[in-house]
Structure 1
Amino acid sequence: MRLSFAFCTFNRAERLPALLAAMRAQQCPLPFEVLVVDNNSSDDTAAVVARCAHESGPPVRYVREERQGIPHARNRALAEAMQRDVLVFIDDDELPQPGLLAGAVHALAAGGARCVGGKVKVCFAPGARPSWLGDDLLGFLAEVDYGERPFPITDLSTPVWTANVAYDMRLFRDNPDLRFDARYNRRGVGVGGGSDAVMFRELLQRGEPIVYCPQMIVDHHVEDWRLRRSYFLRLRFVAGRKQAQYETGDYARALLGVPPFMVAQLVRHAWRTAAMLVRRDAGVLRQAMNLAHAAGMIRGRLLRWSELRGTPQGRR
């Protein structure tokens, strides 16, 4: 049996030496390679990877994916690892803690799981965490922590992401249609994405066994540009837009594709947000994120309506 330990990267060359060293330092019961999928980086990513690959440790394999966007990069990783037995994904702004690969292999082998996800611990530089960023917002920075005991995941309440996930590659060899959805794209350092969330939901719907493994841990180092209120608002707007555009059907009553209940929802969230702003309520950002999501839903319905009519609008 063989394993690929993969990450997709874009213009983060300065982070790669520490990341590659931590990945190659993992103890694993299976022979493994580190697979680097470079998604059109314009910095010296290729040179940094080549230099690190000459250091001692498990082999490092570098590929370049020309199609811009994280779903394309993830699908390239699937293609490159198709003849491997296990594929483990983390992100290029993370560092794996010792025991991640051993925990993933054990969970896949012992429990019969086809997908295993672990903890994602959000880390801030000293003094960088804003006072307004409460623990209730950490999930929007990809934090995952469901405790210290493994358990089977059977519903949407405990999702796992490609920030720290392992797949039995028979999933993808046996199902050529099972790939990351390119509609949920995020190019470069853009906001949003969601193809890993769609993959998680698809595996649940297919009844594939998924397990949470607390021995799999990564530290997620959050960049400063994400530590702004505007980031959280844009994130929720894009999520709402994609949900409405790709996951909703037809409605008997709608104007330009937008059903009345979505407009009412937007108005309710706008009033609540305004009231909380007046009161200077501490939870106003979370409520404003609900408003942004509702606005994104309407934008998504307008886009869907225009696409069905053959008159595509620009996307934001």
Structure 2
Amino acid sequence: MTQAPATPVPIGWPWIIAVAARRPPRRRRRRRGRVPELVVAIPTFRRAEALRNALTAVRAQVDVENGLADAPMHCSILVIDNDSAGSGEQIALEIGAKYVIEPQPGIAAVRNRALGECEHARAVLFIDDDEIPEPGWLRAMIEMYTATKPTAVAGRVVTHIPEVVEPWVSKGGAFDRPIRTRGQLIREAATNNLLLDLDGVHRLGLSFDERFGLTGGSDSMFTLQLTRRGGTIRWAEDAVVIEQEDPRRFSPRWVLMRTFRFGNTSARVRIALARSRAGRLVERLRALGRGTVRAVGGSVRWGFGVVAGSVRHRAYGLRTATRGLGMMAGALGYAHDEYGRRRQRSSMKSTGRVNRP
């Protein structure tokens, strides 16, 4: 039986082209100009002038970073507006930021929307709409992130206290923050100057708990979960933002309300983190006990300040007692709705309505 002659193998360029056509296509590399690797996310709610100031300062640093030939990351800006009327849209677009509206009320929903919008990026960097970054802020954040490769990087926040303010506020330490060192590992952080590695966030299954959307505390909940699940937070001492608070807020009443909220949310967060009913009961009792100690101790210090004529002791004592009361209230199930109250006041102001006795 005669065997059929073998098919001749093509040679030369036609053969090379035929083989190449059977290979799977190479994965196209992302173009840096089209797909940013780091997104600076700015949540906002009816703070037009403050937003403009923040965006202008952030834009300047983003442009410098993107202009570097050896920049390790390409940056862009995202504004997430919690005002369904879109009050921040014009400002955001004027300064060249991507703009989206998150209609669900609450800061937790806004932060989760930011995470969703940044799925294409390597990292997201949160900054508040009432903050101005100091020169070198963005570079310091990126350097700490690329050098240490943590799950998160937290930077320093400094509050500018007005020159004319009651001594009770200026001497009471209400705006003092912990002193840390560059690169230090920390357990918990706020999101008003926080970079998150998105691969790490997804790997740890993290999102902002919307039970804390109108009360505050979702950032504490998020970062405590991050470190408890094995993530790391590094401190960037040189990445500084300046908090531009409304001067009218620097009053004893506002400071005490803020202090009460801190105590209230710290207790509620730790109760929510407990994994069992028994664990939650233990955290409630612990918050109740610690809150009682603070309330009693702070009251004693306040009384000493009254007798000694010391503004500093009166202020510290009253703040300590107020934080303790907040912890006790949280242990008993009360949630201080600070952001909800702020939204209500803002809505009344925008519609011309006023509170009546």
Distance 2:284 2:198 in 1: 40
The answer to whether 1:238 aligns with 2:267 is: no
Q: After TM superposition, give the deviation of residue 125 of structure 1 in Å.
A: 2.7
Q: After TM superposition, give the deviation of residue 41 of structure 1 in Å.
A: 5.7
Cα 1:61–1:299 shift into 2, 3 Å: same
The answer to whether 1:289 aligns with 2:322 is: yes
Residue 220 of structure 1 corresponds to 243
Distance 1:144 1:284 in 2: 19
Aligned partners of 1:240 and 1:300 also within 8 Å? no
Residue 115 of structure 2 corresponds to 78
Can you list the C-alpha shifts for 1:79-117, whole angstroms capped at 9, x where unaligned? 101111121111111001122221222222222222111
Can you list the C-alpha shifts for 1:161-203, whole angstroms capped at 9, x where unaligned? 211111222123434x3111112222xxxxx411111121112
Can you list the C-alpha shifts for 1:188-240, whole angstroms capped at 9, x where unaligned? xxxx4111111211121122232111221101122333643432343145325
Distance 2:189 2:295 in 1: 31
- The letter for the 1-side match of 2:189 is V
> What is the root-mean-square deviation in Å for CA atoms of aligned residues?
3.0
Q: After TM superposition, give the deviation of residue 71 of structure 1 in Å.
A: 0.7
Q: After TM superposition, give the deviation of residue 11 of structure 1 in Å.
A: 0.9
Aligned partners of 2:158 and 2:241 also within 8 Å? yes
Further displaced range: 130-139 or 12-21: 130-139
- The letter for the 2-side match of 1:69 is G
Further displaced range: 228-237 or 75-84: 228-237
The percent of aligned pairs where both chains have the same amino acid is 23
The answer to whether 1:195 aligns with 2:227 is: no
Distance 2:171 2:127 in 1: 25
Residue 7 of structure 1 corresponds to 42
Distance 1:113 1:264 in 2: 35
The answer to whether 1:151 aligns with 2:183 is: yes
Q: After TM superposition, give the deviation of residue 145 of structure 1 in Å.
A: 4.5
Further displaced range: 264-273 or 4-13: 264-273
Q: Look up the SS of the partner of 2:175 in the other structure.
A: helix
Query: Which has a greater percent of helix?
Result: 2
Can you list the C-alpha shifts for 1:255-301, whole angstroms capped at 9, x where unaligned? xx975x77666665554454444432433213312431343134228
TM-score, normalised to structure 1, is 0.76
Cα 1:125–1:43 shift into 2, 3 Å: farther
Residue 308 of structure 1 corresponds to none
Q: Look up the SS of the partner of 2:206 in the other structure.
A: coil
Q: Look up the SS of the partner of 1:183 in the other structure.
A: helix
Can you list the C-alpha shifts for 1:4-48, whole angstroms capped at 9, x where unaligned? 111100110121221111000003223221100001265732233
Distance 2:229 2:287 in 1: 30
Cα 1:145–1:19 shift into 2, 3 Å: farther
- The letter for the 1-side match of 2:260 is R
Distance 2:130 2:303 in 1: 37
Higher relative contact order (CA 8 A, sep 6+): 1
Q: Look up the SS of the partner of 1:7 in the other structure.
A: strand
* Matched residue count: 278
List gaps (5 residues or longer) in structure 1: 54-58, 187-191, 303-316
- The letter for the 1-side match of 2:333 is G
Residue 181 of structure 1 corresponds to 209
Cα 1:121–1:135 shift into 2, 3 Å: farther
Further displaced range: 126-135 or 210-219: 126-135
TM-score, normalised to structure 2, is 0.68
Distance 1:262 1:119 in 2: 28
Q: Look up the SS of the partner of 1:44 in the other structure.
A: coil
The answer to whether 1:118 aligns with 2:173 is: no
Distance 2:289 2:202 in 1: 45
Aligned partners of 2:296 and 2:321 also within 8 Å? no
